[in-house]
Amino acid sequence: LFPDITLTFKKLVLIDDEAFQNPFCIIVPNERMLDKASERWQKNYYYVLSKLIDIILTKSNLNIVMLIHAVGQSADALVGRKAIESVRKIYSGRIIYYVEEDPVRLKSIISKSTFLIGSRFHALASALSLNIPAIATSWLHKYEMLFQDYDVKEFSFKEPDDEIYERVESLLNEEYRNIIQNRLKIANSLINEKSKAMWNLILSMMKS
């Protein structure tokens, strides 16, 4: 099988917004976690997000960007706002709510992050393709397959599990992050090779 061509799309633009000047991680919510995911995720999605937020804010100096990409009829914006309601006032200045519709800017913002926690496939694929460690909260098999392709399947959670908190704490450790980033670099090298082989095959078929 050949890889998704979006994984090799590397175009980035300059991101100089004030919101992204200090080190940050990203959370990308998805309204579908409340109606399409497992029953346990539907019941515990907000709780898990709030606990992950608390761990990051209390155990690191990272800011958190609540990044909304799905707009229009999507309720992701409402989910994102509700997820940060429980943030203690002492930390309120370290969580940033940000809406970005442009997919190139979205990927460029992700490229500047320390790691990403996401429920949107596009955001997770963007992170991994840029060697940015990521944690997936999901309900579809394609999320698991994506993380398996990148040799980080232990970071994909189809069910809420206490291990997710251990994973986010591990990503707060720079040495451990570097280990994961090296895994992603190896995976991306293989994906790039497969992509080149795919295009070579397409070109040869067009010429024949």
Over 80: is that where the pLDDT of 139 sits?
Answer: yes
Q: Where are the domains of the chain?
A: 18-207
Q: Residue 61, Cβ neighbours under 10 Å: how many?
A: 10
Pairing mode, if any, of strands 63-68 and 134-137?
Answer: unpaired
Tokens of 98: 């940000």
At residue 160, what is the residue type? P
Query: How far is residue 54's CA from residue 52's CA, in Å, rounded to a whole number?
Result: 5
Query: How far is residue 133's CA from residue 15's CA, in Å, rounded to a whole number?
Result: 20
Given the candidates 3.40.50.2300, 3.90.650.10, 1.10.357.140, 3.40.50.2000, the CATH classification of the domain at 18-207 is 3.40.50.2000
Which tens digit of pLDDT belongs to each residue from 150-198?
999 999 999 999 999 999 999 999 999 999 999 999 999 998 877 665 5
CA within 13 Å, CB half, 181: 15
Banded pLDDT at 208 (limits 50, 70, 90) = low
Which tens digit of pLDDT belongs to each residue from 64-121?
999 998 767 789 999 999 999 888 888 989 999 999 999 999 999 999 999 999 999 9
